[in-house]
A and B are shown apart, each in its own frame.
Chain A
Amino acid sequence: MSEATAILPEVDISVPTKKSLHLGSRFLKALCWVAGFVAIGILLLIVAYILINGVPEFFYRDEQGALQFKSSLFAVKYSSRNLSMLPAIINTLTMTLLSLLVSVPLGVGGGIYLAEYAKPGSKLVKAIRVTAVTLAGIPSIIYALFGMLVFVVTLKMGISMLSGALTLGTMTLPLILRQTEESLLSVPMSYREGSFGLGAGKLRTTVRIVLPVAMPGILAAVLLSIGRISGETAALIFTSGTGTSIAGIADSGRTLAVHLFKLQEEGRAVGASFAVAVVLLIIVVLMNALSSYIARKLTKKG
Chain B
Amino acid sequence: MQHRKNVSEGLMRGLFLASACVCIFAVGVICYFLFANGLPFFAEYSVWDFITGTEWAPTRGIFGILPMIVGSFLVTFGALLLGAPIGVLTAILMARFAAKPVVKIMKPAIALLAGIPSVVYGFFGLKLLVPFTRNTLGGNGLSMFVASILLAIMILPTIIQTSEAAINAVPNSYYEGSLAMGATHESSVFRAIVPAAKSGIVSGIVLGIGRAIGETTAILMVAGNQARMPTGILSGVRTLTVNVLLEMGYAADLHRESLIATGVVLFVIVMAINFLFSFINRRRVMQ
Chain A interface (Cβ within 8 Å of chain B)?
4, 7-8, 10-13, 15, 21-22, 24-26, 28-29, 31-36, 38-40, 42-43, 46, 49-50, 53, 105-114, 116-118, 124, 127-128, 131-135, 137-142, 144-146, 148-150, 154, 170, 173-174, 177, 201-203, 224, 227, 230-234, 237-238, 257-258, 260-261, 264, 270, 273-274, 277, 280-281, 284-285, 287-289, 292
Contact = CB atoms under 8 A, between A and B. Distances in A.
Nearest to A116: B16
Contacts of B271: 134, 137
A33 B92 CA distance: 9
Interface of B: 5, 8-9, 12-13, 15-24, 26-27, 29-30, 33-34, 37, 85-90, 92-94, 97-98, 106-113, 115-124, 126-128, 153, 156, 160, 171, 173-174, 177-178, 181-184, 186-187, 189-192, 195-196, 210, 213-217, 221, 241, 244-245, 248-249, 260, 263, 266-267, 270-271, 274, 277-278
Given A110-B19, A112-B16, A145-B34, A11 B266 contact: no
Given A137-B271, A233-B119, A284-B116, 19 more contacts: A15-B183, A26-B186, A43-B113, A109-B19, A110-B23, A111-B20, A113-B19, A137-B210, A138-B214, A142-B214, A142-B267, A144-B244, A146-B33, A177-B20, A202-B13, A258-B119, A260-B123, A273-B123, A288-B108
Contacts of A7: 171, 173-174, 177
A146 B20 contact: no
A116 B15 CA distance: 13
B241 A11 contact: no
Contacts of A288: 108, 111-112, 115
A11 B178 CA distance: 7
Contacts of B183: 15, 21
Nearest to A232: B117
Contact of B124 (A13, A35, A50): A50
B106 A25 contact: no
B181 to A, nearest CB: 5
Contact of A261 (B15, B27, B108, B217): B217
A107 B177 CA distance: 44
B270 A281 contact: no
A289 B111 CA distance: 9
5 closest pairs, A vs B, by CB?
Answer: A139-B214, A231-B117, A109-B19, A25-B186, A35-B89
Contact of A135 (B23, B120, B171, B181): B23
B9 A202 contact: yes
A114 B123 CA distance: 40
B181 A32 contact: no
Given A21-B184, A33-B97, A149-B33, A134 B274 contact: yes
A112 B12 CA distance: 10
Contact of A109 (B15, B115, B116, B126): B15
Contacts of B19: 105-110, 113
Contacts of A227: 115
A231 B123 CA distance: 13
A134 B12 CA distance: 26
A66 to B, nearest CB: 29
A201 B186 contact: no
12 contacts: A7-B173, A12-B192, A24-B187, A24-B190, A39-B90, A39-B110, A113-B20, A133-B278, A139-B270, A231-B115, A233-B117, A281-B116
B186 A203 contact: no
Contacts of B267: 138, 142
B16 A113 contact: yes
A233 B217 contact: yes
B192 to A, nearest CB: 5
Contact of A139 (B9, B88, B89, B213): B213
Nearest to A237: B245
Contacts of B245: 141, 144, 234, 237
A203 B192 contact: no
